[in-house]
C-alpha cells in the first residue's frame, strides 16, 4: 500500500513519530519543502521546492498567501503522489492539500486523509480563494483525523459530515520522554517552558510572574526552550535561561525540570490547538500549569492547574502552589504519566492510524 504523507514546510519529528512505526507495514514516503521544520523523521523523505523556501523578508507570508492563496504549495507534488493509495495531508486550506484534492479529481490518486488541528470554525477564510479550497476539501477528502474533539466540532460547524471524521490524539515516544531518575538534592525548583518565543504563547506573562516570585525566593529557576522574535527581549533576567535545543535531545530538558508551564493566550484567529510539549511534560511525569484555552483542557485533563489566559496573578499563584508543595508536584506528576501511558503512546496512535489506512483502501 503506497502512502504519501505530505507536510511541506511543517514537516517535523514530533508529529511524524506517530507514523514512523508504520514503515515496516506500509510503503510510506514523507514529502516536504526544501527547508521544513526538521527532516529527522525516521522514514523516506522527498523534498520539493515551495514558495515557503524563499528567504525571509518583511510580511513574507502575508504577501505569498495572497499571491498563491496559500504559500504551502509544492512544485512537482502531483508527480510524487501519482498512483498513491492514500495521500495524507493536513488541514483543509493548505496549498499542498488543495493540490492533492485536484490530483484526486483527475484520477491520479485514490484516497485522501487530512489531519486537522484547527479549533476555530471558519478560520483562515479571509484570503481570496481559501473558502473554495476548503469547500473542495470537504467534498473530496475521504477521512478527516481531528486531533481533538474541539477540532472535530469545528469541522462539523463548517459542514463536514460526522461520518467522515475520526478523533485521533497524537502521541510521543513515552520511552524517551519518561520520569527522571532519582536526582541529587537540589535547592532550586526549575520551571520549564518549551514553546515558540512569540507573544501568543504567553511568554512575557510567564517571565513577569517568575520575576515577581524571584523577588521573594531566589531558589527558583526558569528555563525557556525555543526560538522566536521575543528571544532578544528575554536576555539579562536573573535565573532565567533561554536556549534552543534540537528535538532529538529535548527530552533531557524535561529531566531537569520540576514544573512545566505553557501560558498560551488566545486571539481572534489563534488558540492553542493541541500542545505537543504538554504531552512531553506529562510523559516526563511533570505537574503542569497552563491556560484553559483551545484544546488544552481536553489534552491535559486533570493533570494540570489551569488559569485564564493573561491572568498573571493566577499564573503566579498556581506556580507558587507547586513550588512550595512537593507532595502536590509528585501527585500531579504521577497523574500526568498515567495519562500519557494510556492516551499518548505513539505506538498505540500509529496502530490506530494504520487501521484507518487499511479500512479506507479496502472499501
Give the model confidence (pLDDT) of 49-65 as tens digits: 999 999 999 999 999 99
Give the model confidence (pLDDT) of 143-191 as tens digits: 999 999 999 999 999 999 999 999 999 999 999 999 987 655 667 899 9
Residue 332 lies in a domain: yes
Residues 157 and 201 both lie in one domain = no
CA–CA distances in Å: residue 317 to residues 236, 269, 308, 337: 24, 29, 12, 24
Residue 223 lies in a domain: yes
- Number of separate domains in the chain: 2
The CATH number assigned to the domain holding 219 equals 3.40.50.2000
Residues 107 and 129 both lie in one domain = yes
Residues 259 and 143 both lie in one domain = no
Give the model confidence (pLDDT) of 314-351 as tens digits: 999 999 999 999 999 999 999 999 999 999 999 999 99
The residue-averaged pLDDT of 224-231 equals 95
Residues 336 and 353 both lie in one domain = no
39: Cα within 13 Å, side-chain hemisphere: 14
Residues 72 and 93 both lie in one domain = yes
Residues 133 and 242 both lie in one domain = no
Residues 335 and 355 both lie in one domain = no
The residue-averaged pLDDT of 185-204 equals 92
Residue 182 lies in a domain: no
pLDDT (0 to 100) of residue 349: 97
Name the residue among 150, 148, 217, 228 with its Cα closest to residue 194: 228
Residue 179 lies in a domain: no
Percent of the chain past pLDDT 70, that is, above it, reads 98
CA 38/CA 346 separation, integer angstroms: 18
Residue 274 lies in a domain: yes
231 band by pLDDT with thresholds 50, 70 and 90: very high
Phi (first) and psi of residue 123, to 5 degrees: -75, 160
Residues 24 and 125 both lie in one domain = yes
Residues 110 and 133 both lie in one domain = yes
CA 172/CA 51 separation, integer angstroms: 30
Residue 177 lies in a domain: no
Q: What is the bridge-based pairing of β-strands 240-243 and 259-262? A: unpaired
Q: Which domain holds residue 318?
A: 189-343
pLDDT (0 to 100) of residue 236: 84
Residues 339 and 357 both lie in one domain = no
CA 118/CA 194 separation, integer angstroms: 21
Q: What is the pTM of this model?
A: 0.95
Residue 21 lies in a domain: yes
pLDDT (0 to 100) of residue 363: 67
Phi (first) and psi of residue 192, to 5 degrees: -115, 140
Phi (first) and psi of residue 341, to 5 degrees: -65, -40
pLDDT (0 to 100) of residue 235: 83
Residues 12 and 120 both lie in one domain = yes
Residues 122 and 253 both lie in one domain = no
Amino acid at each position: 500500500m503506497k502512502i504519501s504523507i505530505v507536510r511541506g514546510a511543517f514537516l517535523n519529528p514530533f508529529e511524524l513519530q506517530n507514523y514512523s512505526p508504520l514503515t515496516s507495514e506500509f510503503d510510506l514516503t514523507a514529502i516536504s519543502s526544501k527547508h521544513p521544520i526538521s527532516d529527522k523523521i525516521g522514514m523516506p523523505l522527498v523534498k520539493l521546492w515551495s514558495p515557503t523556501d524563499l528567504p525571509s523578508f518583511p510580511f513574507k507570508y502575508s504577501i505569498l498567501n495572497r499571491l498563491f492563496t496559500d504559500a504551502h504549495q509544492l512544485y512537482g507534488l502531483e508527480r510524487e503522489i501519482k498512483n498513491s493509495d492514500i495521500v495524507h495531508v493536513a488541514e483543509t486550506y493548505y496549498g499542498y492539500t488543495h493540490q492533492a484534492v485536484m490530483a484526486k479529481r483527475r484520477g491520479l490518486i485514490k484516497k485522501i486523509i487530512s489531519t486537522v488541528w484547527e479549533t476555530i470554525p471558519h478560520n483562515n477564510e479571509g484570503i481570496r480563494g481559501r473558502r473554495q479550497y476548503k469547500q473542495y476539501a470537504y467534498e473530496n477528502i475521504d477521512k478527516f483525523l481531528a486531533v481533538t474533539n474541539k477540532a472535530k466540532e469545528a469541522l462539523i460547524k463548517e459542514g463536514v459530515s460526522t461520518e467522515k471524521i475520526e478523533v485521533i490524539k497524537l502521541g510521543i515516544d513515552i520511552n524517551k520522554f519518561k520520569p527522571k531518575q532519582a536526582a541529587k538534592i537540589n535547592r532550586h525548583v526549575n520551571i520549564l517552558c518549551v514553546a515558540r518565543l512569540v507573544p501568543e504563547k504567553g511568554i512575557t506573562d510567564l517571565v513577569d510572574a517568575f520575576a515577581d516570585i524571584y523577588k521573594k525566593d531566589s531558589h527558583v529557576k526558569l528555563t525557556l526552550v525555543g526560538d522566536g522574535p521575543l528571544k532578544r527581549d528575554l536576555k539579562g533576567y536573573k535565573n532565567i535561561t533561554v536556549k534552543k535545543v534540537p528535538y532529538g535531545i529535548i527530552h533531557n530538558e524535561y529531566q531537569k525540570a520540576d514544573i512545566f508551564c505553557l501560558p498560551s493566550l488566545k486571539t481572534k484567529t489563534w488558540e492553542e490547538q493541541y500542545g505537543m510539549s504538554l504531552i512531553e511534560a506529562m510523559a516526563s511525569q511533570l505537574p503542569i500549569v497552563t491556560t484553559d484555552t483551545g484544546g488544552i483542557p481536553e489534552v491535559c485533563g486533570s493533570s494540570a492547574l489551569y488559569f485564564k489566559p493573561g491572568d498573571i496573578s493566577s499564573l503566579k499563584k498556581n506556580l507558587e502552589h507547586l513550588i512550595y508543595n512537593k507532595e502536590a508536584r509528585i501527585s500531579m506528576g504521577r497523574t500526568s504519566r498515567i495519562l500519557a501511558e494510556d492516551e499518548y503512546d505513539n505506538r498505540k496512535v500509529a496502530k490506530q492510524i494504520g487501521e484507518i489506512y487499511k479500512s479506507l483502501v479496502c472499501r
